[in-house]
Amino acid sequence: MSLAPYVPILGLFALAAGFALFSVAAAPFVGPRRFNKAKLDAYECGIEPTPQPVGGGRFPVKFYLTAMLFIVFDIEIIFLYPWAVNFGMLGVFGFVEMVLFIVTVFVAFAYVWRRGGLDWD
């Protein structure tokens, strides 16, 4: 069993890791060094920041629900890629299975939409 087909992938990983390490190492030397109070303050869109409670302020659960819905539907859609690549070899059985999968995803999407999970109020 030859590992030659994996050499380009390993090379790409090495190139990405080298670029990341170089970027992190070079940033302190090439970045601007003009600090002032305005640059060191947190950016608040022109509104003066208000003090936060020690344990942090309340954060709406809606943000977490939206993120979880995005992840769930994103992962479901990723399952379509291998099916599209092997569509010719799967035949009618693969087509029927993917139709059932897409119907299931659509039913879940319709349920979330009907329950107001996509409304941003």
Q: Is 53 left (phi over 0), alpha (psi -120 to 50) or beta?
A: beta
Alpha carbon distance 65, 70 (integer Å) = 9
Q: What is the dotted CATH code of the domain comprising 4-114?
A: 1.20.58.1610
116 token code pair:
């107001």
**For residue 3, is pLDDT > 90?**
no
**For residue 86, is pLDDT > 70?**
yes
Angle between helices 61-78 and 87-114 (to 10 degrees): 160
The string of pLDDT tens digits covering residues 22-68 is: 999 999 899 877 878 877 777 666 666 666 666 666 667 777 888 88
Alpha carbon distance 58, 52 (integer Å) = 10
- Report the predicted TM-score, pTM, of the whole model to 2 decimal places: 0.46
Among all chains, which residue has been given the structure tokens 């087909």? Answer: 5
- Residue 22 confidence (pLDDT): 97
